[in-house]
Amino acid sequence: MNYARATNIAVEAIPVIDVGVRDDAAAADGGGIEEVARQMRAAAESVGFFYVRNHGIPDDLIRRAEDVSRRFFAHSEPEKRAVAPLDRHRGWLQVGQAKMYAGAKVDLKESFVWGLDIPADDPDYVAGNRMHGPNRWPDFLPAMRPALNAYFEAAHVCGRRLLGAFAASLGVAPDYFNARFAKPVTRGTLVYYPPQPPDAGEEQFGVAPHTDYGVLTLVHQDMTGGLQVRTRAGEWVMAHPIPGTLVVNVGDLLARWTNDRFQSTPHRVVNASGRERYSMAIFLDPDFDTPIVPVALGGEAAHYPPVTCGEYILSRFDRSFAYRSKE
């Protein structure tokens, strides 16, 4: 079988952090919020990936979101095509519509993208903001909208708690990363990976090697496996599914915002299982016009000029998604 290879490391080689402690938790045993922040910073500065347990997203919300994901992707292509993207990054993307910049072939996956659920008369959408717009909910699956909106909100709460812990770990203002989330450009993405044919070659991926564009990514993956992470030494390793956890990874904007203290780590998916694989990702990002100004601690020079969140993400979309060539 000719798949891209990765080292089958021990499950615990990527940090697993219990983030369920309360702000008032006693830290005598090293389990308080300050210790959580320290562990998160250490993971973000070294691996750029970690797992979180006791993340606060109720199991029933996860199950509901998983259920509508499987039901949606099981529908026919003509049905799903009715909710293909129009003028915004929302809706169903079929196999062949995504190609990561480092990939030689298109990604072998389908996805469904949604975001903040806003109406067609939203003033930002009407004014032409290219990251705000109505979601493309399918008429054939009415349960999808409430299930995904509930998951989106719960994941957003979790993600913002993590950003608060990151701020605490750096000694900056508590709301340094969280100050501008009035109308975030966060996206949720359901992903379906069919089994990769064993003769597709080592350059075929479910999703090709890439770094995530935004601030922070939270991923719920099923137990199929296939997520691979590149270490700082250049070795690809397996990020095994761990029940009851989310995978969290630093995106390019958070690396930029922290002046490269935090690592935005390349990762990819190779579905060599012979089974279908499903995942749910929340790409957490603040308001469109949030200035991303590198935090220079200790008098160091900024590595990057300021950029706005929305325009940076749009520039990355334009390089990765085939449907955007029509705009």
Q: Looking at this protein, which amino acid is placed at residue 130?
A: R
Q: 301 lies in a domain?
A: yes
Under the banding of pLDDT at 50, 70 and 90, the label for residue 100 is: low
In terms of Cα–Cα distance, which of 189, 186, 167 is closest to 176?
167
In the three-class reduction of DSSP (H, G, I as helix; E, B as strand; rest coil), residue 41 is classed as helix
Segment 159-197, tens digit of pLDDT? 999 999 999 999 999 899 999 999 999 999 999 999 988
Tally Cβ neighbours within 10 Å of residue 207: 23
Mean pLDDT of the chain: 88
Range of the domain at 199: 11-326
| pLDDT of 201 strictly over 50 | yes
Q: 5 lies in a domain?
A: no
200-218 mean pLDDT:
90
Q: Lowest mean pLDDT: which of 13-17, 86-90, 112-116, 221-225? A: 86-90
Q: 6 lies in a domain?
A: no
**Residues 258-277, buried b or exposed e (16+ Cβ, 10 A)?**
bbebbbbbbbbbbbbeeeeb
> Distance (Å, rounded) from C-alpha 320 to C-alpha 158?
27
Q: 4 lies in a domain?
A: no
Q: 80 lies in a domain?
A: yes
| pLDDT of 10 strictly over 50 | yes
Work out whether the CA dihedral 252, 255, 259, 261 comes out positive or negative: negative
> Distance (Å, rounded) from C-alpha 195 to C-alpha 128?
39
Q: 85 lies in a domain?
A: yes
Q: 286 lies in a domain?
A: yes
In the three-class reduction of DSSP (H, G, I as helix; E, B as strand; rest coil), residue 138 is classed as coil
Q: Please, are residues 262 and 254 in contact by the beta-carbon 8 Å criterion?
A: yes
118-147 mean pLDDT:
95
| Count of domains observed in the chain | 1
17-42 mean pLDDT:
70
More confident residue, 154 or 96: 154
Q: 278 lies in a domain?
A: yes
Work out whether the CA dihedral 33, 36, 42, 48 comes out positive or negative: negative
Read off the CATH number of the domain in which 249 is found: 2.60.120.330
DSSP 198: T
| pLDDT of 4 strictly over 90 | no
Under the banding of pLDDT at 50, 70 and 90, the label for residue 273 is: very high
Q: Please, are residues 278 and 66 in contact by the beta-carbon 8 Å criterion?
A: yes
Segment 295-321, tens digit of pLDDT? 877 778 999 999 999 999 998 877 665
| pLDDT of 246 strictly over 60 | yes
